[in-house]
Amino acid sequence: MHINYKLQDRFDLAIFIPAVVLMIFGLLAIYSSTFNHPTASGNFQKQLIFAVVAIIAFFITFSLPQQLFKSFVIPLFFASLFFLLAVLVVGKTVYGAKSWFGIGGFGFQPSELAKLGTILMLAYWLTYKSRDINNLLDIGVALAIGFVPIMLIMLEPDMGTSIVFAIITISLIFWSGISLFGLFIVLSPGFVVFASLFGVYAFVTALLLIVAALFFFKRDLFNSITVFIINLSAGFFFDYALKILKPHQQKRISSFLDPSADPLGSGYNALQAKVAIGSGGFFGKGFLHGNQTQLRYIPQQWTDFIYCVIGEEFGFIGSVLVIALFLIIFLRLFKLSATAKDKFSVLIIIGVLTLFFSHFTINIGMNLGITPVIGLPLPFLSYGGSSLLINMVMLGIVMNIYKNRKLHT
Amino acid sequence: MDDNNFGSYFRRRIIFIMMIGFFAICITQLFNMQILEQPAYSEKSDENSVKPIYQTAPRGVFFDRNHKVMVGNKPSFTLRITPSTYDKKLNPYIEAILSTSPGYIDRILKQNESYSKFIPRRIAKDVSFKVIAWYEENASKLPGVDYIMETQRDYSFSIMGSHMFGYTKEIPMEIYQHRKNEYDIGDDIGFGGIEKTYEDYLRGDKGIKYMLVDAKQKTIGRYKNGEEDQTAVKGDDLVLTIDKDAQSVAEEAFKNKRGAVVAIEPSTGEIIAFLSAPQYNLQDFAKVTTNEVWRDLNNNPDKPMFNRASMSTFAPGSTFKMISAIAALEEGIIDTNYKINCGGGYQFGDRYFKDLHVHGTVDVETSIEKSCNTFYYSLVNKIGLDLWSKYAKKFGFGSKSRIDIPEEAAGIVPSTDYYNKVYGKNGWTKGFVISLGIGQGELNVTPLQLAQYAALFANSGKSARPHFLKGYTDMHTNLFVEVKPQTYDIGISKKSFDIVRRAMYLVVNGAGTATNIRSDELQISGKTGTAQNPHGKEHSLFIGFAPFNNPKIAIAVLVENAGFGSTVAAPIARDIIKAYLIKRNKEENKNLAAVTIVQEGKIAH
């Protein structure tokens, strides 16, 4: 096979081609799940247009001068915060969440724009001049950059996207070289909160583990007590937050903890998704021949449950192929992050990688029944214009960084 | 800023391991689900999308012995309500269109409350097309209401036969619990008579149509184009021993009377006619039986639900005299030369047992012909209670005949043991026995037993278990399976029978008590009886058989509160015998003619 080294030097096909193949898989799955659907039968054509627009956007981003991104960071971040605020006021409610702007026949999700804005902002802040990542104030500001969009998105409410923002924030701080103790401070409240989901005993056990860890770190008493109080209050705050959650969100959490408790509610989708994938077998039931899909056992399958269309109709082979394509993209992004010429670029690539990977993990995990049902689209496959557009723009930025990796400014 | 830590090797490792690790978890889970557990998931997926629709099989049809339909099937609409999606506010509208009383739907829903609310309940069977048209027009406003086409029993073949046919009814919870494999909720099950006894033949096999449904249970199409569907197999058709014409004559005769008729083919035990009057309308049971229908039937003073033919017991009166005669002849206590003088009664101790007439010199033949009580008062005394009782039991009294319907009474034949048990060892006198001689006292028999008794005289002690089923058509093989009669011989000499039979001939054809039904063509022999009835006027009884030389029918007729046997019961018996025998002769002649033609044909070749 002849590889055009000149092209490969400027343009990473190992990312672009898998992404395009995934988009094609997505289009096939969307077609299969909607072609005889009474209300969603136009989704294939729409997604096809989105795909073309997204690829154009990818090339535009790819060809922009790299310096431009840095100057865009602050206005983009605040613009996305503004949109997130605005959507709470004038947004339209889709599936119980106020997360959309309706523009003509199309909708736009500001949280998608905020992903880009937040990644850029965090990368900018964390690599700005002589930042000390172990300085509590610097960590605090970094956390705040993540926390503001998280809170705004939680208000929509869109729990899945909030979780993604939290993961991005934490992993960028982590990548920036935070010490183990610093990471412990950042992560331990999350651990306590998660434990508190399983009841009082788990909550107390988690707090005891925190105390044990504090002894291990051997920090001074003031620091230790501060951390402990942060953890304790996180538990209580979460308990309060749980109460303000919408019933369907509370149900999702409880149905993850005990799937058999609510077989026809949110556990129903998870079960039907597993049945669809499991019944696909090795070769699948064939394109347009999956009965779970064709008989619409899984509502809105073309969004968050797109992977079970692949699993049912293309079987083990198709399912593994899709996962493998994602792995190629992830490993490639990982590799490119090492070649980027500055830390800002590295953090952008790591941010994009984290975004894709967290979406992938939560979505595939939900489809395979190994993580709770959290509504998040599968990048490149799920139906949705905003998400596809921003994903391709982000790949365009990564590709732009790759193109300019040898230039010195 | 600590440059060494930014994107350190350690951090790279962690991220790398997470990615590879999650990839490995996904592949493992996919392998588990799609390869190892694929069969289980596939089954679930099929269950999900394939909904079996059961079709009730038409029940087997009842034919008479000449293959005329007596009970058939007809298509009918059944209106159903599924409580899970039904709104009770619709009750008044549906009740109005069904023209039932308010509260009707609530009542039916209440009766079935213990079943899952996702299972449709049959609200009204055999609803008119008007109702279905109304439903179709308003279906969208009637959630939880639907209708199905079913077959339903058709009783429009000019005979009722309610007690022998029995009825079908929705399977009750108690029975359903034991037979879950065979029935579904709401299925009909035979509830009495032949419908119950032969339920397993009549039921047939349900059909299953597999339909594809979406997650909202809306039908999308057929599963595998109907390849796996099973068509309903109709239940086995039964050919009964009943003669429709004889039965219909009996039903006609009892239009305004209470009583019973049982007619038996003597050598085979085949039941030719079986009637308990008044009857009830089986058509009422073909619909969803409402409490009102039940109440009316149960409160009716004539007790239409009661099967008099095999369940009512009474003292058989003079029809029972032949027991004493045959016992005495068989045991050598008397012979044809034995005579007594009837002075109009019999003195026993300090009691005088009366006769209706003064018969003068009476031998055994005349005693039956003229129905002389005096003769039997003394004769039963000579025979003794237990020997008499033994002979009564030989003729099938005091025990069930094991007829093939569930409703049957055994009756009572008193014996020393019986009286000791009831009255205590010294609590009864020999006087109790004297009245048994003329079939009165504590003797209890059913019309069915009397018919069996008549059959034994017709065939000189050889008969067969009375039964309704002549044969059935096995719907799986399409072969007709004939039922063999279970014959028996009560072991009494022909000589004794000849004497008694001749006397029974004279009852009708000599100077006896039933000469009013004499017919040279039919050659009926028999015995009249008048059964004393503590509640009112005597019951009129007649038992008999015909023709005398080669009996083809034995019969017992009971007309409640009608007085003398000869005046009411005997003519009914004659009409039934006539209906059966005359047609039979015609058919035999026809067959003979057919045989002759065939033979002639053979010769011609």
Per domain, the residue ranges of chain B are: 75-150, 247-588
Query: Are B448 and B554 a contacting pair, CB within 8 Å?
Result: no
Taking the CB of residue B552, how many other CB atoms lie within 10 A of it? 17
Note whether A368 contacts B19, CB cutoff 8 Å: no
Report how far residue A202's alpha carbon sits from residue A195's, in angstroms, rounded to the nearest whole number. 5
pLDDT category of residue A22 using cuts at 50, 70 and 90? very high
Find, among B392, B403, B408, the residue nearest to B443 by Cα: B392
State yes or no: cis peptide before A247, omega within 30 of 0: no
CA dihedral sign, ordered B595, B598, B603, B604? positive
Bridge partners of residue B274, in order along the sequence: B262
pLDDT of B324 reads 95
Whether the pLDDT of residue B47 is over 80: the answer is: no
Report how far residue B402's alpha carbon sits from residue B195's, in angstroms, rounded to the nearest whole number. 16
- In Å, how far is B116's CA from the nearest CA of chain A? 17
Query: Chain A residue with minimal CA distance to B220?
Result: A295
Query: Are A280 and A322 a contacting pair, CB within 8 Å?
Result: no
Query: Are B398 and B415 a contacting pair, CB within 8 Å?
Result: no
The token pair at B495 is 């000589």
Lowest mean pLDDT across A93-97, A106-110, B184-188: A93-97
Average pLDDT, chain B: 87
CA dihedral sign, ordered B492, B496, B499, B503? negative
pLDDT of B216 reads 59
Find, among B605, B29, B58, the residue nearest to A371 by Cα: B29
Q: Looking at beta carbons, which residues of chain A come within 8 Å of B36? A: none
pLDDT of B5 reads 74
Let me know how many helices (H) and strands (E) chain A has, helices first: 16, 3
State yes or no: cis peptide before B571, omega within 30 of 0: no
Name the one residue in this structure whose structure tokens are 């049809």: B61
Q: In chain A, which among 310-329 make CB contacts under 8 A with chain B? A: 311, 315-316, 319-320, 323, 327
Name the one residue in this structure whose structure tokens are 């002649």: B589
Taking the CB of residue B284, how many other CB atoms lie within 10 A of it? 17
Highest mean pLDDT among B139-148, B287-296, B380-389: B380-389
pLDDT of B587 reads 67
Lowest mean pLDDT across A34-48, A186-200, B280-294: B280-294
Average pLDDT, chain A: 85
What homologous superfamily is domain B75-150 in, according to CATH? Answer: Penicillin-binding protein 2a (Domain 2) (3.90.1310.10)
The count of residues in chain A is 409
Q: Report pLDDT digits (tens) over B323-359.
A: 999 999 999 999 999 999 998 888 888 888 888 888 8
Give the residue, B82 or B47, on which the prediction is more confident.
B82
pLDDT of B444 reads 93
Identify the three-state secondary structure at position B187.
coil
Q: Which residues of A363-396 are buried (b: 16+ CB within 10 A; e: fewer)?
A: bbbbbbbeebbbbbbbbbbbbbbbbbbbbbbbbb
Report how far residue B239's alpha carbon sits from residue A124's, in angstroms, rounded to the nearest whole number. 96
Q: What are phi and psi of B475, to 5 degrees?
A: -70, -15
pLDDT category of residue B274 using cuts at 50, 70 and 90? very high
Note whether A323 contacts B26, CB cutoff 8 Å: yes
Q: Which among A175, A279, A327 is the nearest to B41, CB-wise?
A: A279
Lowest mean pLDDT across A3-12, A27-36, B186-195, B540-549: A3-12
pLDDT of A263 reads 45
pLDDT of B252 reads 94
CA dihedral sign, ordered B111, B117, B119, B123? positive
CATH among 3.40.710.10, 3.40.1280.10, 1.10.3720.10, 1.10.10.10 for B247-588: 3.40.710.10
pLDDT of A324 reads 96
Which residue type, as a one-letter code, is found at position B318? S
CA torsion angle for B591, B595, B597, B600 (degrees, to 10)? -160
Find, among B459, B485, B477, the residue nearest to B401 by Cα: B485
pLDDT of A331 reads 95
Q: Which among B5, B29, B35 is the nearest to A177, CB-wise?
A: B5
Q: Which residues of B343-353 are buried (b: 16+ CB within 10 A; e: fewer)?
A: eeebebeeeeb
- In Å, how far is A361's CA from the nearest CA of chain B? 7
Q: Which among A177, A275, A276 is the nearest to B6, CB-wise?
A: A177
Write the DSSP assignment of A60-115 as a string of letters. HHHHS-THHHHHHHHHHHHHHHHHHHHHHHH-EEETTEEEEEEETTEEE-HHHHHH
The token pair at B314 is 């009474």
Whether the pLDDT of residue B474 is over 80: the answer is: yes
Work out the average pLDDT over B174-186: 79
Rounded-to-5 percentages of helix, strand, coil across chain B: 40, 20, 35
pLDDT of B468 reads 96
Residue B587 buriedness (CB in 10 A; 0-12 / 13-18 / 19+):
exposed
The helix or strand, by DSSP H or E, that contains position B470, with its residue range, turns out to be: strand B469-474
Query: Chain B residue with minimal CA distance to A325?
Result: B23
Say yes or no: do domains B75-150 and B247-588 share a fold.
Answer: no
Work out the average pLDDT over B3-17: 81
Q: Report pLDDT digits (tens) over B119-164.
A: 788 888 888 888 888 888 887 788 888 888 888 888 988 889 999 9
Report how far residue A117's alpha carbon sits from residue A62's, in angstroms, rounded to the nearest whole number. 17
Bridge partners of residue B240, in order along the sequence: B469
Chain CA centroid to CA A254, Å: 22
Query: Chain A residue with minimal CA distance to B44?
Result: A275
Give the residue, B197 or A244, on which the prediction is more confident.
B197
Note whether B19 contacts A320, CB cutoff 8 Å: no
pLDDT of A264 reads 46
CA distances from B540 to B58, B515, B531, B571 (A): 42, 16, 7, 11
The token pair at A343 is 């830390």
| DSSP annotation of B483 | P
Query: Are A95 and A377 a contacting pair, CB within 8 Å?
Result: no
Give the residue, A252 or B221, on which the prediction is more confident.
B221
Q: In chain A, which among 126-155 make CB contacts under 8 A with chain B? A: 130-134
The helix or strand, by DSSP H or E, that contains position B220, with its residue range, turns out to be: strand B219-222
Work out the average pLDDT over B440-461: 95
CA dihedral sign, ordered A92, A94, A97, A102? negative
Query: For chain B, what percent of residues have pLDDT higher than 90?
Result: 51
Bridge partners of residue B276, in order along the sequence: B260
The token pair at B498 is 């000849």
Judging by DSSP bridges, how do beta strands B62-63 and B237-240 pair with one another? parallel
Report how far residue A211's alpha carbon sits from residue A213's, in angstroms, rounded to the nearest whole number. 5
Q: Which among B19, B27, B33 is the nearest to A278, CB-wise?
A: B33
How big is chain A by its Cα radius of gyration, in Å? 22
pLDDT of A260 reads 47
Report how far residue B464's alpha carbon sits from residue B337's, in angstroms, rounded to the nearest whole number. 33
Say which residues have a Cβ less than 8 Å from residue B369's Cβ, sequence separation at least 6.
B503, B506, B507, B510, B511, B512, B513
Whether the pLDDT of residue B395 is over 60: the answer is: yes
pLDDT of B2 reads 45
Judging by DSSP bridges, how do beta strands B553-559 and B539-546 pair with one another? antiparallel
CA dihedral sign, ordered B371, B373, B375, B376? positive
Whether the pLDDT of residue B370 is over 60: the answer is: yes
pLDDT of A262 reads 46
Name the one residue in this structure whose structure tokens are 């439903």: B135
pLDDT category of residue A215 using cuts at 50, 70 and 90? confident
A343-367 vs B9-31: helix axis angle to the nearest 10? Answer: 20
The token pair at B428 is 């009864």
Whether the pLDDT of residue A224 is over 60: the answer is: yes
pLDDT category of residue B404 using cuts at 50, 70 and 90? very high
Bridge partners of residue B188, in order along the sequence: B170
Q: Which among A178, A277, A330 is the nearest to B33, CB-wise?
A: A277
Q: Looking at beta carbons, which residues of chain B come within 8 Å of A338? A: 7, 12
Does the interface ipTM go beyond 0.90? no
Question: Counting one residue from A and one from B, how many pairs have CB atoms under 8 Å apart?
Answer: 130
pLDDT of A354 reads 96
Q: What are phi and psi of B514, to 5 degrees?
A: -130, 35
Report how far residue B29's alpha carbon sits from residue A323's, in angstroms, rounded to the nearest whole number. 12
Report how far residue B324's alpha carbon sits from residue B331's, in angstroms, rounded to the nearest whole number. 10
The token pair at B331 is 């045991």
Whether the pLDDT of residue A192 is over 80: the answer is: yes
pLDDT of A177 reads 84
